[in-house]
Amino acid sequence: MEKMKRAGFILVVAFAILVGFLAIVGVGGPVLEPSYLALVFHIVFVFGASIAIAVVSARGYLRSGSLNVALLGASLLISGLASTISIWALVPGIWPTLLINEAIAIGNIGILIGAFVQFLSAVVTWSAFGTTDVERRKAILVTIYFISLLSIAILVNLAALGLTPIFLTPAGPTPVRMVILVTSILLTLASSLLFDRRYVQTRSQVLYWYSLALALFGISLVCAAFTMKIGDIMNWVSRLALYLSGLYFFMALRTSEAADADLTERWVDAFGTDIGLNTLFSNMLNGVTYCKIVTDETGKPIDYVYLGVNDAFKRTNGVSVRDIVGMRATEVFPGIENDPADWIGVYGHVALTGEPVAFESRSKLTDRWYSVSVYSPRKGHFVSISQDITESKRAEVALRESEERLRHALDGAKAGMWVQCSNGEWFSSPQLNTLFGRPVDARPMGFEDFPSILHPEDLLRIREAWTYAIATSGPYEEEYRVIWPDGSVHWLASKGKITTDESSRRQFIGITLDITERKRAEEALQRTNEELQAVMDALPIGVVITDAHGGIVRTNGMDEKIWGSRPTTKGIEDYYEYKAWWADTGKPLAPEDWASAQVVLRGETVAGQVLEIQRFDGSHGFIINSAAPVRDADGKIIGSAVAIQDITTLQMAEEALREEQKHKLEFYQATIMAATNGKLIITERSEIEQIAGPTAATWEIHNPEDIRIIRHGVEEIAAVAMMDEARIGELLVCVGEAGQNVVKHAGNGKASLHKTDDSLIVVVSDSGHGIPALAVPDVALRRGYSTVGTLGMGYKIMIQFADRIYLATGPEGTTVGLEMYLHLAELQAGVGLMEKFGL
């Protein structure tokens, strides 16, 4: 078949090339016009084909109501008759009243009318004039064919009366003929192209041969335009093309008969103008198809042919082919025969049995769901009305999955859902039962059940909240207790809100959760907090807890006593409200200097800030401020814990004590000085060093031997200084006693010799614990008093012999300055020697 189609197409092209060649070369050639030859050919190839197609078209129209089919038949009828009459008239002697010119006029004008009707049939859909009434169709058909025949009769009579224009002169065709021929050519070729386009869409064999037939018809007309004389070469080429087109028309008829559908339906298919579908269902949202089932030899449905579809069908099935009428289902949906939905089987059953069905099925090919109703208007045919329900199916699946997830979520969260409609109807999920200590499969909880289940102390509150929420359409959010059948008390939390459904009905929708564990944890946390607060309040020091920003989150009672009422402190930036000074320097404390600030800013633990503070009542006090970081499980600092010790009383007592000791010391100093006749002066180490002047010699003291060495050293220098020998001996006794004290009380020390203008000063010092200030009088004056339990007589001896003793003692050690005047007379004489020694 394919080879035949290809051969048919090649022949048409060959004709076109031949005509083009002849037109260009302009070959007139010899004239060949035997009597009756052309007439016989015309009757066979042109008239026969015209009549056959007219008949087929008439049947097709009566069955389908497609006006296009009727017009197509009429077109060929007109063309065929006019052409045949024209040839007939050209046979010499048959019709002597008609001249050649009139014969050609009949042929050309008839062809023009036929081409015009043909074009109308190809380009316009005449469904607006369609009807389902068969009698009326017959009337219309008769009318159309009658008009066609009438137009030919009129044309012939006009020609016979000589009223037609001149078409051919001995010089050749007239412009009138050329205009008519060219118009006919254009209309015919345009029709050919339109049918060819329909063929591309539908792959209908009928349309293939029909469009080629029209093309040949057009070529024939082109040849006619170039025909100079009746019977010349171009005239015969024209005639051959015309006869060949007749053959192609027959081919189209033969192809139809070979197809599964009968010619009429294929004919209708080709034009897609099934009157019922197009007029009634074109605007429907549902897809509508009218099809004929194709069966195999055993009568089993194997395919179906679309006889009519509406746009919705193509849209919902994603059919890109503009017109699928006339196509088989397996052509439109390759693989449909294997679709699990078994469309062909189901439709075939309906078409063959006449039993209508309605079903929902998913097409594997389009991956969409359809709701389909199928019925059979006549045996072997079916009408399918389908609706794409993919979205609703997906929504249904999504809803089912959502409900499943919700159920799992509710189970997992120990939650129940409930809905109260505006008409008082109450619905609840099974999980709600478990929240009230009932079996999950028990009767769903009813609204009326709540008063007996709610804890009496919560009943009134919950009822009021419920009523209020409904009255105001506001949110409902309550926590309450319920008493289970076993008597145990459980905490529940309900949240709900008023919503409006699609029908504008109000409904109260909510969810209830079991929060017993959370409540118990909260209670435990509260107890812990209270215990912590109690412990903090019992502490004798102020305690402050800050957050990570230094904001104060908790204090205790002692802190309130220390500071008074603290202002709101959200962070370190608020610390400027706290007035404090370093106790030792008196410098004010900056916000970032506070222990808690250092903790949260740098993570440092700060201990023992001694501060003077100004309380919020304006009074002053002293505190020791310490802070350490508070960390979370990951070690991150989440705040600080501050300990504040109020040392105001202690500080004042120490201050008073220091003052008292100072007074006592001053008293003792005066007393000692008086008692020793000005010999023993209690002073400071620095003052002794200042009095002593330049150093002449220094010694280390570690053991008793060192003391002897010092004594000898001092003796030599004193002798050089011309000190009186007796006084040297006394000085050495004093040096020995001072050195002995170093060894006994401190273990180590040092000694140095200094020279003033009129005396030698030996300074002996150690780093021992010193003599307690208040013990100095006893040490210095009381015989036998010793701080280490030995007989204390060293100072007595030193006071006895030295001219002046400077004593500086304290926790940092003891320094004794022993001053011995040089003999006055020899002092003056010894100045030179002293200078010699560099003293």
Partner 1 sequence: MSAEVIQDTHVRVHVTGDIDLSSVTEFYNALDEAAERSPGGFIIDLTETTYIDSAGVQAILVIYGKMRESNGCLIIIVGNVRIKTVLEVVHLEQLPGVCVCTTLDEAKQALYISKREQEGNP
Least distance (Å) between residue 755 CB and partner 1: 23
Q: For residue 112, what are its two tokens?
A: 């023009």
Rounded CA separation 624/517 (Å) = 43
Quick note: the x/- pattern for partner 1 over 726-755, rule CB under 8 A, is x--xx-xx--xx-xx--xx-----------
Q: Is 274 in the site for partner 1 (CB under 8 A)?
A: no
Q: Of the listed pieces 119-127, 223-231, 240-248, 723-731, which binds partner 1 according to CB under 8 A?
A: 723-731
Rounded CA separation 407/402 (Å) = 8
Return the number of the residue (183 or 740) whose C-beta is nearest partner 1.
740
Give the footprint of partner 1 on residues 305-364 (CB under 8 A).
Answer: none
Q: Of the listed pieces 317-325, 374-382, 509-517, 722-730, which binds partner 1 according to CB under 8 A?
A: 722-730
Q: Is 781 in the site for partner 1 (CB under 8 A)?
A: no
Least distance (Å) between residue 627 CB and partner 1: 53
Q: Of the listed pieces 240-248, 353-361, 443-451, 792-800, which binds partner 1 according to CB under 8 A?
A: 792-800
# of chain residues touching partner 1 (CB under 8 A): 26
Return the number of the residue (658 or 783) whose C-beta is nearest partner 1.
783
Least distance (Å) between residue 826 CB and partner 1: 19
Q: Is 716 in the site for partner 1 (CB under 8 A)?
A: no
Rounded CA separation 195/183 (Å) = 18
Return the number of the residue (627 or 818) whose C-beta is nearest partner 1.
818
Q: Of the listed pieces 332-340, 517-525, 793-801, 824-832, which binds partner 1 according to CB under 8 A?
A: 793-801
The dihedrals phi and psi of 438, each to the nearest 5 degrees, come to -110, 155
- Radius of gyration (C-alpha) of the chain in whole angstroms: 65
Rounded CA separation 219/825 (Å) = 168
* Residue in the block written with tokens 């009756």: 36
DSSP notation for 553-573: EEE-HHHHHHH-SPPP--BGG
Return the number of the residue (730 or 766) whose C-beta is nearest partner 1.
730
DSSP notation for 766-790: E-S----GGGHHHHHHSTB--TTSS
Among 402, 528, 605, 790, binds partner 1 (CB under 8 A): 790
Give the footprint of partner 1 on residues 60-79 (CB under 8 A).
Answer: none
Among 125, 434, 507, 800, binds partner 1 (CB under 8 A): 800
Least distance (Å) between residue 737 CB and partner 1: 6
DSSP notation for 565-631: SPPP--BGGGGGGSEEEETTT-PBPPGGGSHHHHHHHH---EEEEEEEEE-TTS-EEEEEEEEEEEE
Q: Is 675 in the site for partner 1 (CB under 8 A)?
A: no
Among 783, 825, 828, 833, binds partner 1 (CB under 8 A): 783
Query: What stretches of 631-699 show up as alpha helix (H) in DSSP?
Result: 648-675, 685-692
Return the number of the residue (24 or 791) whose C-beta is nearest partner 1.
791
Least distance (Å) between residue 801 CB and partner 1: 7
Q: Is 711 in the site for partner 1 (CB under 8 A)?
A: yes
Q: For residue 688, what are its two tokens?
A: 């002794």
* Residue 326: its H or E element: none
Q: Of the listed pieces 101-109, 453-461, 481-489, 725-733, which binds partner 1 according to CB under 8 A?
A: 725-733
Q: Is 796 in the site for partner 1 (CB under 8 A)?
A: yes
Rounded CA separation 387/286 (Å) = 5
C-alpha distance from residue 408 to each of 412, 431, 449, 510 (Å) = 6, 10, 25, 17
Coil, helix or strand for 760? strand
CB distance 676 to 799 below 8 Å: yes
Return the number of the residue (475 or 747) whose C-beta is nearest partner 1.
747
Least distance (Å) between residue 815 CB and partner 1: 19
Least distance (Å) between residue 669 CB and partner 1: 23
- Helix 48-64, helix 233-258: angle, nearest 10: 40
Among 489, 703, 747, 772, binds partner 1 (CB under 8 A): 703
Q: Of the listed pieces 370-378, 522-530, 790-798, 821-829, which binds partner 1 according to CB under 8 A?
A: 790-798
Least distance (Å) between residue 709 CB and partner 1: 10
Among 175, 567, 704, 772, binds partner 1 (CB under 8 A): 704
Among 160, 193, 793, 831, binds partner 1 (CB under 8 A): 793
Least distance (Å) between residue 742 CB and partner 1: 10
Return the number of the residue (168 or 798) whose C-beta is nearest partner 1.
798
Q: Please, which residues bridge with residue 571 across strands?
A: 550
DSSP notation for 385-454: EEEE-HHHHHHHHHHHHHHHHHHHHHHHTTEEEEEEETTS-EEE-THHHHHTTS-TTSSPP-GGGHHHHB
Positive or negative torsion for Cα 134, 140, 146, 152:
negative
Among 24, 25, 791, 824, binds partner 1 (CB under 8 A): 791
486 exposed, middle or buried (CB, 10 Å; 0-12, 13-18, 19+)? exposed
Least distance (Å) between residue 785 CB and partner 1: 12
Least distance (Å) between residue 798 CB and partner 1: 9
Q: Is 700 in the site for partner 1 (CB under 8 A)?
A: no
Among 705, 716, 758, 812, binds partner 1 (CB under 8 A): 705
Give the footprint of partner 1 on residues 438-467 (CB under 8 A).
Answer: none
Q: For residue 757, what are its two tokens?
A: 């203008």
The single-letter code of the amino acid at 558 is M
Return the number of the residue (209 or 801) whose C-beta is nearest partner 1.
801
Q: Please, which residues bridge with residue 624 across strands?
A: 610, 645
Least distance (Å) between residue 727 CB and partner 1: 10
- Other C-beta atoms closer than 10 Å to the C-beta of 693 total 14
Least distance (Å) between residue 738 CB and partner 1: 10
Rounded CA separation 340/330 (Å) = 15
Rounded CA separation 729/718 (Å) = 10
Q: Is 760 in the site for partner 1 (CB under 8 A)?
A: no
Residues in the site for partner 1, rule: CB under 8 A?
Answer: 703-705, 707-708, 711, 726, 729-730, 732-733, 736-737, 739-740, 743-744, 783, 790-791, 793-794, 796-797, 800-801
